Amino acid sequence: MTSAREEILARVTSALGTDRQPPADLPQRARVTWDAGRTVDQFVETTADYRAIVERTVVNSLPQHIAAALAGASAASVIRPAGLDPSWLTGFPGTVLTDDHHTAYDLDSIDAVITAAAVGIAATGTVVLDHGPDQGRRAISLVPDVHVCVIRADQVVPDVPEATAALREAINERRPLTWISGPSATSDIELDRVEGVHGPRTLHVIIVDQDG
Amino acid sequence: MPKFPSMARDGLANTQQRRNLQHATHTIRSKRATVVDEVPDWEELRVRGAAVKDQVLAHLDDYLVQLEASLTASGATVHWARDADEANRIVRDLVQAKEVDELVKVKSMATQEIELNEALEEVGISAWETDLAELIVQLGHDRPSHILVPAIHRNRSEIRDIFREEMGAVGTPAPDGLTDEPTDLAEAARRHLREKFLRAKVAVSGANFAVADTGTLVVLESEGNGRMCLTLPETLISVVGIEKVVPTWEDLDVFMQLLPRSSTGERMNPYTSMWTGTTEGDGPQEVHVVLLDNGRTSVLADEVGRQALRCIRCSACLNVCPVYERAGGHAYGSVYPGPIGAILTPQLRGTSSPLDQSLPYASSLCGACFDVCPVRIQIPELLVHLRTQVVDEHRGGRPSAEGVAMRTASWMFADHRRYEKAQRASTMSSKLLGERTTLGRLPWPASSWSGARDAPAPPRETFRQWWVRTHGSESR
Amino acid sequence: MTASSAVAVQRVALFATCFNDTMFPEAPKATVRLLERLGISVEFPLEQTCCGQMFTNTGYADEAIPLVRSFVKTFGPYDAIVAPSGSCVGSVREQYASLATRAGDAGLSRDVDQLAPRVYELSEFLVNVLGRTDVGAYFPHRTTYHPTCHSLRMLRVGDRPQQLLSAVRGITLVDLPQAAECCGFGGTFAMKNADVSVAMGSDKVRHVRETQAEVLVAGDNSCLAHIGGLLGRQRAGVRTLHLAEVLASTEEDPA
């Protein structure tokens, strides 16, 4: 008896016939150079378009902005990835937990999460997490209802092709990726968009410019 | 199942559904147009998307072997399924080995196609749909009618009623005084599903893309239910059609641009999850991938029809289709409705049933679908191609009335003298009609025209008679 | 501008189409009057019958092939072939090649490839070949235009018909809402899926009536027969005319 694998591959091979061309070089979009300032401006605009709260600050003021963001979302507790700079939360008066094998039920009782990011995409208003040490495992940025995401201005790229290029290394390391564009949403009811379904209902993106 | 025209009659008569569909398709179609117009190189992206898919299909065996190796190296277990039964058996055995009686599901066309939920139910396993629309369909004991928004045929009040009546029987009931505001309905779904997400041990998903060179699977979604299923359970089983492969990570960018804009009319969908096998300390530690054929290799064997396998399930063709908009998704008798369904279903299932023979005819060939297809599937051409196949399959058998009429007409048209003779009969009948310019109701088969439309009375003089009278019988 | 100053077209043939020839002769007649008025000496080869589209689109490819052969033979000698029908021209230009391939006749494929680009829908011929948008027509009526699917999405005639109509003296041209939506005719679709076809047509008719136009114009009499049949059954008081009839209309010889 042939295995399913052998049979399916044989079906494919016979469907494709004998005169097969070798794979062609697929057209690739030309790499672009971009104006960093304009790209970040566009990122602010497109991220806000998707009902995320978005603001810009400089490194020195980051702790105040994070504290204000959490206060604005009425968060009394926040979870942080172990690799995130602890000084970021020095302005926050509430409970700070460092991720340590919390169960999904534990996470469900925590108000907010703070993460860094890997890449931002200006054309689409997207932040991408590669779940490195300063972003933590996937569950922590999913279950709490408020996600504060800090991204450096130099991590923002113009469009998807530049983003996939920047993420190649993370993929080679077999890291999971999460692409986030605004808070969770649905258009399933009469195709009217509603924000806030299962994922965080509040996404607060803070863009950090390096101090001059 | 009856043929498309009689199923469409039910859809046409359902006034509430007509209203819902008209509103929804027009909303999404204009959203799509807006975000597509933003992209200066959209046409170039479409061409690239089609080229990548064609490349995959032309070397599918090689890419599948490469995908399998990448998946295995990343800690996933790969299974192969020739058909629906085999895929269902694989999933069922994996779930039963975990000794659970429930699982959560990410919206997946492939699992609908193989009727996985029903197969699991037979052995006492509840498969909870977690996408809002799929939940509406599941709670309403209904069938999906759209690829992207399966409950598109329902409006807010109908959804509220379903939630009120059905949620309590399978979990957290709908809150008292639930209104039909979409925000309230979404909130009710969140509360209902949260307990299921938190306790789930096993999840089942499909995948939008599977990257051969890295073993990465990709799921695009909006609500976060996908992330819940892909992240919280210990075991993840993904059922993936073999045509979902893309060659390299770099080839993914074109689809991440084409799909969200074509599908939901957004620059980007809220959440996309990408995972490469298992990750220590993060997400499911047991990852299975079931590679599904179920008719795809038969589609591949038809060099013309093969294009249908480029489909990335965006549903843009449904949203612009005038036939789908009026007949509704259920008329297509398949999980793939609309224009893509009319070409994909008869190819996956073959054209032996009356329904599947009628699907390629479920189109006026208006061409709106091709214009919006992000991977440039020539749907109108494929519809004609499949109609030809349906007719060819009946050649040599007992001739149908239509076949006889067509052959006779072709013979008549093949020589202008025979054609002119037939024309004389029509002008004769016109003279008998006197001054009338239109005809009323006509007997069958012309009644299918004249039931709702006046038929024009033939003229007393054909064009060529006029030409000969005014310009002479030479062509000049 | 005269015809010869645009493109030198030696011999022009009219392809009337079987449907127009038999049922709607006014459109090809108007085409002849219009082209003659523009100084084009048009010929009508009597061997022509039908392009075969009905057979092709219903799945009867074998039955269409003899018609491809006779079309190629009939029109081969001409520099340009003009037809007052977007869908029949679409069939020749877009479907003949695959029918010739099916016939397995390399000579026929060659002939089709050479002939197809010389086959024009009326508005294409007027604007692209003759370089004319003002054809000297007079038509003092409130008019709306329905772009038929095959002219719009198969031939991509764009706004050429509207350019021609806009230049007509006396005309009041009103935009048709949801203009690009199919009217539901679709050839044998109108019979095989009569219910859906009529549902689509009903919406088209509703939009036509919203414009309060007294005349609906299109470039395909097949679609117009369907829309006009619905308008007629409703006694809507809207006339349907082929684009050629409006463009041929003058003060002396009104449509």
Q: Which residue's structure tokens are 């949620």?
A: B167
Mean pLDDT value across chain C? 96
Nearest-neighbour CA in chain B from A75: distance (Å): 19
Question: Which residue shows structure tokens 């089709």?
Answer: C112
Least confident of A22-26, B111-115, B126-130, C97-101: A22-26
Judge contact between A41 and B85, C-beta under 8 A. Answer: no
Per-residue pLDDT at C7: 53
Hey, is the C-beta of C25 within 8 angstroms of any chain B C-beta?
yes
Inter-chain residue contact B301 with A29, CB threshold 8 Å: no
Q: Which candidate from B149, B183, B249 shows the least CB-CB separation from A187?
A: B149
Of B249, B276, B279, which is closest to A168 when you measure between CB atoms? B249
Give the strand pairing for A194-195 and B438-439. Answer: unpaired
Predicted pLDDT at C1: 38
Inter-chain touch B454–C232, beta carbons under 8 Å: yes
Q: What is the pLDDT of residue B428?
A: 82
pTM for the whole structure: 0.96
| Chains touching chain A, criterion 3+ CB pairs below 8 Å | B
In chain B, residues with a C-beta closer than 8 Å to the C-beta of C225 are 456
Tokens of A1: 């008896």
Q: Which residue has the higher pLDDT, B116 or B451?
A: B116
pLDDT, mean of residues B90-106? 98
Question: Nearest residue on chain C to B18, judged by CA atoms?
Answer: C199
Predicted confidence (pLDDT) at residue B94 exceeds the cutoff of 60: yes
Interval B96-121 mean pLDDT:
97
The whole-number pLDDT of residue A164 equals 96
B475 falls in which pLDDT band (50, 70, 90)? low
Instruction: Suggest the residue from B39, B55, B271 to mutate for an interface test with chain A (most A CBs closer than 10 A).
Output: B271
pLDDT of residue C168: 98
Q: Which of A79, A61, A59 is nearest to A70 (CA)?
A: A79
Cα atoms in the 13 Å half-sphere on the side-chain side of C41? 6
Q: Specify the pLDDT at position A1.
A: 64
Q: Give the span between the Cα atoms of B458 and A61, in whole angstroms.
A: 84
Beta bridge partners of C91: none
At residue B368, the pLDDT reads 98
Helix axes of A4-16 and B60-73: crossing angle, nearest 10 degrees: 150
Hey, what long-range contacts does A168-174 have (CB within 8 A, 24 or more apart)? Answer: A168/B249, A168/B250, A170/A118, A170/A130, A170/A132, A171/B214, A171/B216, A171/B249, A171/B274, A171/B276, A172/B214, A174/B74, A174/B214, A174/B215, A174/B276, A174/B277, A174/B279
Residue C100: count of CB within 10 angstroms of its CB:
23
Does A2 lie at the interface with B, CB-CB under 8 angstroms? no
pLDDT in tens, A160-212: 999 999 999 999 999 999 999 999 999 899 888 898 899 999 999 999 998 64
Q: How far is it, in rounded angstroms, from Cα A112 to Cα A136? A: 14
Nearest partner of C184 among B214, B133, B216, B8, judged by Cα? B8
User: What is residue B476's predicted lDDT score, i.e. its pLDDT?
Assistant: 57
Predicted local distance difference test score (pLDDT) of residue A43? 98
Which position has the higher pLDDT, A29 or C248?
Answer: C248
Per-residue pLDDT at A212? 45
Instruction: Mark yes or no for CB contact B368/C180 under 8 Å.
Output: yes
Given a cut of 80, is residue B36 above it in pLDDT? Answer: yes
pLDDT surpassing 70 at residue C187:
yes
Nearest to C182 among B366, B403, B454 (CB): B366
Q: What is the pLDDT of residue B356?
A: 96
Q: What is the mean pLDDT of residues B40-54?
A: 95
Q: Which of residues 136-175 of A touch B (CB under 8 A)?
A: 137-139, 142-143, 159-161, 163-165, 168, 171-172, 174-175
What's the confidence (pLDDT) of residue C2?
A: 40
Look at residue A134 in the predicted model and tell me its pLDDT: 98
C254 close to B (CB below 8 A): no
**How remote is the C-alpha of C138 from its chain's centroid?**
20
Q: What tens digit of pLDDT does each residue of B179-207 get?
A: 999 999 999 999 999 999 999 999 999 99
Query: Is the pLDDT assigned to residue C100 strictly greater than 90?
Result: yes
pLDDT bracket for residue C31 (50, 70, 90): very high
**Nearest Cβ partner of B249 from A24, A160, A164?**
A164
pLDDT value at position B387?
98
Q: Give residue-wise pLDDT tens across range B267-279.
A: 999 999 999 999 9
pLDDT digits (tens, 9 = 90+) for B220-265: 999 999 999 999 999 999 999 999 999 999 999 999 999 999 999 9
Residue of B41, B187, B227 with shortest CB distance to A199: B227
Over 80: is that where the pLDDT of B443 sits? no
Rounded to whole angstroms, what are the CA distances from C97 to A27, B374, C69, C80, C163? 28, 25, 12, 18, 31
Among the partner residues B368, B456, B467, nearest to C225 by beta-carbon distance: B456
Does C223 score more than 50 pLDDT?
Answer: yes
pLDDT beneath 70, residues of chain A: 1, 211-212
Which residues 37-66 of chain A have a CB within 8 Å of chain B?
Answer: 46, 49-50
Give per-residue pLDDT as tens, C188-219.
999 999 999 999 999 999 999 999 999 999 99
| pLDDT attached to residue B282 | 97
Residues of B in contact with C18 (CB under 8 A): 413, 419
Contact B390, B351 (CB under 8 A): yes
Contacts of range B112-115, beta carbons closer than 8 Å, 24 or more positions apart: B112/B144, B112/B335, B113/B84, B113/B294, B113/B335, B113/B336, B113/B348, B114/B84, B114/B87, B114/B88, B114/B239, B114/B292, B114/B294, B115/B84, B115/B88
* C91-102: average pLDDT: 98
CA distances from B271 to B227, B253, B274, B369 (A): 8, 15, 10, 27
